[in-house]
Structure 1
């Protein structure tokens, strides 16, 4: 028997015995090796195709999620802008109301002061009236006393 020789085929080393009829075994091994390599190549291609499909699906899912989240973020941004406008409007109205309230308070205080002054004038007028009545009574008394003849 011949010593075995080593042949390298597609990364696989096979020991082939050299003997009569070994050609058919070699052909069979060669065919098996080719079939194995073809199946491995098909598996790699299938695996690569599945990997590409998974990447495409993940990319599509990621884009859909980002789009969905962006819609929510955009709506939140729009709502925030509306709230900011409403806050500014409310602040302006509150400031205007504070100014108007200050004006009303000043008017009420002015009116109150005017009423106090009217009350002071009324009291002064009563006081003057009483004084005038006293003076009139005194003058009347004096006048009546001069008209009567003296008692002698």
Structure 2
């Protein structure tokens, strides 16, 4: 009977070891499966991140180029505005100069009119 108990114990241990080995293999397979699914998800995310980084880099380069072009256009418009301001100032100077000449001409005209009236009155007194 002891031999039978030893044999049954040996069979039970063998069965437990087999079930433990099966459980270990199942657990290992589950870990591999879980790792593979996480790996696939992480790879997809990493691919997406790299793709987005490349798109951002391209957009950044385009933005730098457009900003540079806008700066150039702004400088050109600034120069144009400065030129227009100078021209307007010159027009103001010319207008001021013309008003001064007009004033001087009016003074000369009035002086000549007074002189001419005096000549006429002198001529009429002489006659």
The alignment's TM-score, normalised by the length of structure 1, stands at 0.68
Does 1 or 2 have the higher relative contact order (CA < 8 Å, sep 6+)?
A: 1
Greater per-residue helix proportion: 2
CA distance in 1, matches of 2:37, 2:72: 52
Partner of 1:149: 123
Query: Is it true that 1:62 corresponds to 2:62 in the alignment?
Result: no
Greater C-alpha radius of gyration = 1
Count of residues paired in the alignment: 125
CA distance in 2, matches of 1:29, 1:130: 144
Query: Is it true that 1:29 corresponds to 2:2 in the alignment?
Result: yes
Structure 2 gap segments, 5+ residues each: none
Partner of 1:100: 73
Q: Superposition RMSD on alpha carbons, in Å? A: 2.3
Greater per-residue strand proportion: 1
The alignment's TM-score, normalised by the length of structure 2, stands at 0.79
Structure 1 gap segments, 5+ residues each: 1-27
Q: Which runs of 4+ in 1 moved over 4 A?
A: 143-148
